[in-house]
Amino acid sequence: MKGKQLYERLINVPRVDTAAATFHILHNGQDFPAPVQLTSGAIYFLLLCDHYRIAPQEAFTIAKNLMNEHDGALATEFEAIRMYLREET
């Protein structure tokens, strides 16, 4: 899936599914040291952007918009992940 069709699906991706996948990636990587977690997450992101031919900045903007409510507050699903990060990693 490339181009406009992918873009349309990205801007309409379900928040709950995305949060669940984010938690899964986070949970499975927590045994690695923090620098490895951070760099591997960035590399994963860049490789996916390259594979799907979407500019990293555009994907980043879409993700940031998905994470936040209309008032700018972090969406509940992602606030829960933030709390998990504080307590478990």
In a domain, 76, yes or no: yes
Whether residue 75 contacts residue 68, with contact meaning beta carbons closer than 8 Å, is answered with: yes
In a domain, 44, yes or no: no
In a domain, 83, yes or no: yes
In a domain, 28, yes or no: no
The total number of structural domains that make up the chain: 1
In a domain, 13, yes or no: no
Spatial separation of the C-alpha atoms in residues 4 and 20, rounded to whole Å:
25
> Each residue of 59-74: pLDDT tens digit?
999 999 999 998 989 9
> Each residue of 31-61: pLDDT tens digit?
999 999 999 999 999 999 999 999 999 999 9
In a domain, 5, yes or no: no
What is the percent of the chain with per-residue pLDDT over 90, rounded to a whole number? 79
What is the band of 6 on the pLDDT scale with cuts at 50, 70, 90?
confident
Range of the domain at 61: 50-89
